[in-house]
Amino acid sequence: MQTLRDEFSFIKSITPTNRFQQQLTIGIGDDAAVYKTSADTEQVVCVDAMVEGIHFRKDTLSPFQIGRKALAINISDLAAMGANPMYYLVTIAIPKTWTDHELQDIYAGMNELAERYKMDLIGGDTVSSKDQLVLSVTAIGIVQEGKALKRSSAKPGDVLFVTGPIGKSAAGLELLQQKEKDKPLTDMEHSCIRAHQEPEPQISSGTYLANLGKRIALNDVSDGLSSEAMELAEASNVQIVMNEEKLNSILPDLQNVEYHQKLKWALNGGEDFQLIGTTSNETFAHLQESSPTTLFDIGFVRAGNASVIMKSANEETVLDKGGYNHFS
Which residues are documented as binding site? 31, 48, 55, 77, 107, 124-125, 151, 220, 222-223, 271, 324
Half-sphere exposure of 120 (CA within 13 A, CB side): 3
C-beta of residue 278 within 8 angstroms of C-beta of residue 267: no
DSSP 255-276: TT--HHHHHHIIIII-----EE
Contacts of 323 (CB under 8 A, 6+ apart): 223, 224, 225, 226, 227, 228, 267, 268, 270
C-beta of residue 87 within 8 angstroms of C-beta of residue 142: no
List the binding residues for ATP: 107, 124-125, 151, 222
Residue 49's DSSP bridge partners are 136
CA distance 26 to 153: 13
CA 216 to chain centre: 17
C-beta of residue 215 within 8 angstroms of C-beta of residue 283: yes
DSSP structural state of residue 177: H
List the binding residues for Mg(2+): 31, 48, 77, 125, 220, 223
List the binding residues for substrate: 55, 271, 324
CA distance 214 to 168: 30
C-beta of residue 169 within 8 angstroms of C-beta of residue 199: yes
